[in-house]
Chain A
Amino acid sequence: MNQKISKKDISKLLDELGKEFKVFSPSRESGVTTFAEWDGRDSSFLEWYRNTVISPKAQLQPLYEKMFSFHKDKEGYHLELPPPTDKKLIFGIRPCDAKALTIIDKTFQDTYQDPYYLDKRKNTLLVGLGCTNPYDSCFCTSLGLSPTQSSDVDLMLTDIGDEFLIEAVTDRGMKLIKKTSYLKEVTKTDEAKAEEARRQASSKVTRRLDTKDLAKRLLSSFDDQDFWEKVSNKCISCGICTLLCPTCYCFDISDELVKKEGSRFRSGDSCAFPVYTKMPMENPRLEKWRRVRQKVCHKYEFYPMSFEVIACSGCGRCIRLCPVNWDITQILASLPVKVKA
């Protein structure tokens, strides 16, 4: 049975959840919207929040993350892992960003488990908040999602006016609402309102990406250098689309050393940078068109080949935040070779 909570009680709810979890909610940090630790005061995000610039993926795979520290003494080197992760709760994650985590789980689980990502993932509860006001750049509905979809979160909230309808999706979500105060039973009217909110939200996503035979179409356009050169012309290789993308997970590994104390860390990396593939004598993706092709094909061709899912959830950040208005939906609509269905 679904429940509901008054919007006025959200601050109190977050305070309560904060006793058990490190709670992250939408926030403005130096003018950039991101998920930050709930500070107990400002729930104004309920008014301004559409989606954050920095996706909540950053809570699971931060742009900078210590992997282990090392120090040296008479016996040699000693390596030490960071302390176990806190129990976290991400409040207000959008369905596209939650789906993105489900997508990149596959990489981090493949062959060898990635302990850093998966430990945080295991210890993080996701409380989703359906979109009521998607951006013009959003195209989640083309990736089989809806802006109010609950499939990838533990609890799902849907805006029904002065209240949120709460749906427990997983057992973890169910357990959480059982011990949470401030909840009320829902009425049939509430359910109807939620249904209407879901329907309206979906109809507001108007941008389209035709995914039919997309991997095949990309494969047949792969060697068309003229096409890739044309569509990469205006790209400035800044890497913003990849660093803000909730399904981009590439990273670099480096060391830091201060006197005899040091650490190995990983940091966000991007296929937009020439150095990403640079070897001492060669670089297989020195040319910009190759790097643009890699980015596009990895998401819509290679990832589906490996894991049977497109590495995109249609959040639209790469369109919305690109400094030169590079538009993935336009690029994919203009692929030169069409394969007959």
Chain B
Amino acid sequence: MPVSDISYRKRFLTKDNVYLPHLVIIEKIIDETPDTRTFHFNFKDKGLREEFPFKSGQFGEYSIFGIGEAPFCISSSPTRYDRLEFTVRRVGSLTNALHRLSVGAEIGFRGPYGNGFPLDLLEDKNLVFVAGGIGLAPLRSLIWNVIDNRDKYKNIDIIYGARSPADLCFKYDLKNWDKDKSINMVTTVDKGDKTWKGRVGFVPQVLEEVAPSADSAVAIACGPSIMIRFTFPVLAKLGFTPEQMITTLEKRMKCGIGKCGRCNIGNLYVCRDGPVFTYAQIKDFISDEY
């Protein structure tokens, strides 16, 4: 399963060793929700940013030396050269340690890995983004990418939900996209609070209400697996074919390059052959272990 731009990425290795991380500096930390933070970072060797090739939907392996390493998607857009970003929910030992970092901290980064979103498939199409919780992180990279090349794409719908208003990530982006007249932005929460005046309802249910047309459209969904499992049938009901539905999968990964073994679904490695798949591909997976 060849990775198309591998030769270019190989030139980006440190000392020809794919496991040796680049040193990067945390430049800014944003509290997204009570348990989720976005980190802006840049290479310690600043010149590397210009050379650093990545696509929306690709991921990196981030490490705190002495604690460990874990994969997170790059949540900023490749069209924005001033910085790179990743977004982390506090759930395990490394993510907790990341949340304890301050601006100026030096961490390890290697990547980019994985296939990324198929931009050529999205061109001249109506785009429907469906995201839940921190699942907006990889889509956000793609959304900014698309906005920065707005004339290449047609209508844009964004349906985004979280458990509660406090759990909505990237509120500053949501505001921007809401103001953008070329985007239909729909935000929802599972359960509102006193100040919440917006929609209330689960993402798949709201998607059905918004009912974007499947005509010349592609839907890109990311969120908790339970949300994804309920989203595909709704999309199908709206007339989307399996080829018109795209998602990005999450697995425990260590190496990021198809060697350490654990992220396989049947014969495919999510790190090497994914993490972005169409529902047509997912339907053909040998295994339901995703």
Contact = CB atoms under 8 A, between A and B. Distances in A.
B19 to A, nearest CB: 5
B287 interface: yes
Contact of A110 (B68, B259, B261): B259
Interface in B213-272: 224-225, 250-252, 254-255, 257-267, 272
Given A253-B260, A280-B95, 5 more contacts: A222-B286, A253-B255, A255-B68, A269-B262, A277-B251
B16 A115 contact: yes
A257 B260 CA distance: 22
The 9 closest A-B pairs by CB, nearest first: A257-B66, A250-B261, A280-B91, A284-B289, A302-B267, A305-B267, A112-B18, A112-B257, A262-B66
Given A70-B65, A111-B6, A301-B267, A269 B261 contact: yes
Interface of B is mostly: loop
Contacts of B252: 276-279
B91 A111 contact: no
A301 B267 CA distance: 8
A64 B289 CA distance: 29
Given A277-B251, A284-B289, A305-B267, A79 B20 contact: yes
Given A115-B17, A279-B252, A306-B1, A271 B261 contact: yes
Contacts of A115: 16-19
B262 A68 contact: no
A21 interface: no
B65 A255 contact: yes
Interface in A262-316: 262, 264, 266, 269, 271, 276-282, 284-285, 290, 294, 297-298, 301-302, 305-306
A255 B254 CA distance: 12
Contacts of A294: 264
A320 B33 CA distance: 54
A279 B250 contact: yes
B290 A111 contact: no
B63 interface: yes
A249 interface: yes
B10 A112 contact: yes
Interface of A is mostly: mixed
A181 interface: no
Interface of B: 1-3, 6, 10, 14-21, 23, 44, 63, 65-69, 91-92, 95, 106, 108, 224-225, 250-252, 254-255, 257-267, 272, 286-287, 289-290
A285 B259 CA distance: 18
A43 B54 CA distance: 55
Contacts of A255: 63, 65-69
A45 B264 CA distance: 40
A285 B23 contact: no
A254 B264 CA distance: 20
Q: Which of B67, B251, B289 has the most CB of A within 10 A?
A: B289
A302 B259 contact: no
Given A251-B254, A302-B267, A276 B19 contact: no
B18 A264 contact: no
Interface string A67-95: 11010100011010100000000000000
Given A251-B260, A277-B252, A278-B252, A306 B10 contact: no
A252 interface: yes
B20 A276 contact: no
Given A79-B20, A113-B18, A222-B286, A108 B251 contact: no
B251 A284 contact: yes
B23 A76 contact: yes
